[in-house]
A and B are shown apart, each in its own frame.
Chain A
Amino acid sequence: MIKTDVAIIGGGPAGLSAAIAAADMGAHVTLVDRNQELGGQLLKQTHMFFGSREEYASTRGFDIANILKEELKKRNVDVLLNTTVVGYYKDDGVWGMEHGEDKFVKLKAKKTVVATGAMERHLLFPNNDLPGIYGAGAVQTLMNQYGVVPGKRVLMVGAGNIGLIVSYQLLQAGVEVAAIIDAAPTIGGYLVHASKVRRQGVPIMTSYTVKKAYGNGVLEGATIVKVDNRFQPIPGTEMDMDIDTMCIAVGLNPLVELLWQAGCEMRYIPQLGGHVPVKDENYETTVEGIYVAGDAAEIEEATSAMVEGRIAGLNAAYTMGFDNGHYCDEREKAIKRLQDLRSGPVGVKISNGLLKLAEEAV
């Protein structure tokens, strides 16, 4: 059995930041990730991030992953790759992990930060399981990590930031984007991302949804339809799209299976992406010693995930008695930073969701 002070589950932006922060406080940290490489979904992000210098604004996502990995290397952190945490023995506080293909390993940690991220949602429509219909993030992985295009002509479903950014990346990879549709009456993503795809001639059709997909074995086309202000299809507005790929970019759900299993109190908060754990200001869940950070805590973005990771990592270490003398400053700075990130109009949804979570937790 492996023993450690702080276990971090997930090596994306939140987990890497948590590991760095906890190690800086002086704790022994073990970082576990199921992939072959650290970085999480940053590895496929080719666009430059917004935000401030502290969270690497104007830097491309995969470069941020490299910076964090370099920082991690400077610290004495144990990293277990190709290791999937599959369960939690509540009574003993032990995590069960599958290492490689057929090895079962146990990990006992005094504190744990769960930074497992999120997974993509799907949409309901006939034939939504045809090969060729992919999550937008899946297409990003295929294109940006492995250099393989998903097809020749794509329909993007969802005009939020992910839908807009992935559309632009499809164009960069030489793939035609037939249209971006969204059931909402307005574009959900940032104007700067929308303008970039529009300049390339991609129509963004709001108040449209998928009526059905079709194809013999694989996707060959789809029918889209306009919806009214109650999201009901308007007969006679159907349009056929000749496509071999459809990307679904309708949001993410937190990956919280381990938190459920550990017995953390959960609440359903739509603004935060679904079921999320109740947590305090230090990002500790209702189970003492289990912290959460990043998309597993609420669906937001990588910048806030990094700050949350820092808060969780700092506190996990500090509550065990580790402090390099900067705990109070660092904690205060990070909490302030998170407030700033959520203060603008973009943060309204998250702030409302967090408020609701706090209310319902009482």
Chain B
Amino acid sequence: MRIESHPILEFKRGNALKFIFDGQEMVGYEGETIAAALHANGVKILSHSLKEGRPRGFYCAIGNCSSCLMKVNGTPNVRVCTEPLKDGMVVETQHGKGVIK
């Protein structure tokens, strides 16, 4: 959910951007990260643990903890908490460690 009014901050959102998450079209804004856009669209599960397949969301949101690795435009292991959202991006849930092309 997005904050519409705030006592201190004013959110100047950039242009609306369309992106695809696991085949579903979603809208985010220029200037935000993929994780922020997904969260605003109600997506909290970003990855799964390697051994047990347990669902994982982001934890640190600043690119440290690797809890949010996803496949973006075909590239695996992208830290979506720091990766800026771009128009037309294809974001996918990653299964396993990913394969380097």
Contact B61 A131 (CB under 8 A): no
Are B61 and A133 interface neighbours, CB within 8 A?
A: no
B46 x A119 contact (CB < 8 A): no
Contacts A137-B60, A137-B61, A143-B3 given; 15 further ones with Cβ under 8 A? Answer: A35-B62, A129-B54, A129-B56, A131-B46, A131-B56, A135-B60, A135-B65, A138-B61, A138-B62, A139-B61, A142-B36, A146-B32, A147-B3, A147-B9, A218-B57
Q: Is A36 an interface residue (CB 8 A)?
A: yes
> What is the CB-to-nearest-CB distance from B91 to chain A, in angstroms, rounded to a whole number?
15
**Could you list 13 A-B pairs, sorted by A, with CB under 8 Å?**
A35-B63, A46-B8, A131-B46, A134-B59, A135-B60, A137-B61, A138-B81, A142-B35, A146-B36, A148-B40, A172-B6, A217-B55, A218-B57
Number of interface residues of A (CB under 8 A): 36
- C-alpha spacing A144/B58, complex, angstroms: 16
Whether the Cβ atoms of A147 and B39 lie closer than 8 Å is: no
| Bound-complex Cα distance A260 to B9 (A) | 39
The answer on a CB contact under 8 Å between A129 and B49 is yes
Within 8 A of A (CB), among B63-101: 63-65, 67, 75, 81-82, 84
Which one of A101, A119, A134, A147 lies within 8 Å of B64 (CB-CB)?
A119
| B44 engages A218 (CB within 8 Å) | yes
A255 touches B3 (CB 8 A): no
Please name all residues of chain B whose beta carbon is closer than 8 Å to the beta carbon of A212 when the two chains form the complex. none
Number of interface residues of B (CB under 8 A): 36
Please give, as numbers and ranges, the residues of chain A lying within 8 Å of B82 by CB-CB distance.
34-35
Q: How far is the CA of A46 from the CA of B9 in the complex (A)?
A: 8
With A35-B82, A36-B84, A130-B55 as contacts: A148 and B61 at CB distance below 8 Å: no
A297-334 contact mask (Cβ, 8 Å, vs B): 1 or 0: 00000000000000000000000000000000000000
**Residues A172 and B8 in contact, CB atoms below 8 Å apart:** yes
Give Cα distance in the complex from A135 to B58, angstroms: 9
CB pair A149 B3 closer than 8 Å: yes
Chain B min CB distance to A197 (Å): 15
Alpha-carbon gap, A101 to B82, bound state (A): 12
Shortest B1–chain A CB gap in Å is 5
Flag if A137 contacts B62 (CB, 8 Å). yes
Q: With the chains together, A196 CA to B51 CA distance in Å?
A: 44
Chain A residues whose C-beta falls within 8 Å of the C-beta of B32 in the assembled complex: 146, 148
B20 within 8 A of A: no
Nearest-neighbour CB distance to chain B for A195, whole angstroms, equals 18
CB distance from A35 to the nearest CB of B (A): 7
- Residue of A with least CB distance to B44: A131
Residues of A within 8 A of B55 (CB): 130-131, 217-218
Q: Does B17 contact A (CB under 8 A)?
A: no
- A142 to B8, Cβ gap below 8 A? no
Say whether B49 contacts A134, CB under 8 Å.
Answer: no
Q: How far is the CA of A36 from the CA of B81 in the complex (A)?
A: 12
A122, A130, A142, A217: which has the most chain B beta carbons within 10 Å? A142
Q: Which are the 7 A-B pairs with shortest beta-carbon distances?
A: A131-B57, A138-B61, A147-B11, A146-B36, A131-B44, A141-B61, A119-B64
A131 to B1, CA, bound (A): 16
